Amino acid sequence: MSTSGAAIGHDGFDFVRIPQHENEEHTIQVTPRSLSRRRTINHQLSSEIAMSQDAARFLCAGTAASVSSFLYNPLDCLRIRWQVAAPQAAEHGLLQYGSQIVRTEGLVSGLWKPGLAANVSGMFLSAAIRFTCYEEVRDSIVSSSADGTKNSLHMGAAGLVCGAFSYFVTAPFHLLKTLRQAEPVRPDINVSAKLSDVRNVLRGSAPVSMRGALFSCGQMLGYDGLKSTAKAHGFEDGPSLHLISSVAASFGASALSAPADLLVARYMSMASPGSLTAVVREIYDESGVRGFWRGWSVSFIRLTPVMITYSTVYEQLRYRSGLGYLN
Element housing 121 (H / E): helix 116-143
pLDDT value at residue 45: 43
Looking at residue 101, its pLDDT comes to 92
Closest CA to 139 of 114, 162, 123: 162
Residue 33, beta-bridge partner list: none
Predicted local distance difference test score (pLDDT) of residue 317 = 95
Cβ-based neighbours of 311, under 8 Å, separated by 6 or more: 64, 223, 242, 243, 245, 246, 249
Task: Note the pLDDT of residue 278.
Answer: 79
Residue 70 CB-density burial (10 A; 0-12 exposed, 13-18 middle, 19+ buried): middle
Per-residue pLDDT tens over the stretch 13-72: 444 444 555 554 444 454 555 555 555 554 444 444 445 888 999 999 999 999 999 999
Q: How many CB atoms lie within 10 A of CB 223?
A: 26
Instruction: Note if the pTM is more than 0.85.
Output: no
What stretches of the chain adopt beta strand conformation (E)? 5-8, 14-21, 24-30
Q: What are phi and psi of 262, to 5 degrees?
A: -65, -40
Instruction: Report the alpha-carbon distance of residue 202 to residue 183 in Å, rounded.
Output: 20
Distances (CA, A) of 324 to 124, 126, 145, 195: 21, 21, 25, 40
**Torsion on CA atoms 174, 176, 181, 185, rounded to nearest 10:** 130
Tell me which long-range contacts 267-273 makes (C-beta under 8 A, separation of at least 24).
267/204, 267/207, 268/175, 268/178, 268/179, 268/182, 268/194, 268/204, 269/84, 269/178, 269/179, 269/182, 269/185, 269/186, 269/189, 271/186, 271/188, 271/189, 273/200
Residues 216-246 pLDDT 10s: 999 999 999 999 999 999 999 999 999 999 9
Tell me what pLDDT residue 198 has: 65
For residue 83, give the amino acid letter. Q
Q: What does the pLDDT read at residue 162?
A: 97
Where the chain has pLDDT below 70, the residues are 1-51, 86-92, 193-200, 203, 268-274, 295
Count other C-beta atoms under 10 Å from residue 142's C-beta: 17
pLDDT given for residue 47 in this prediction = 47
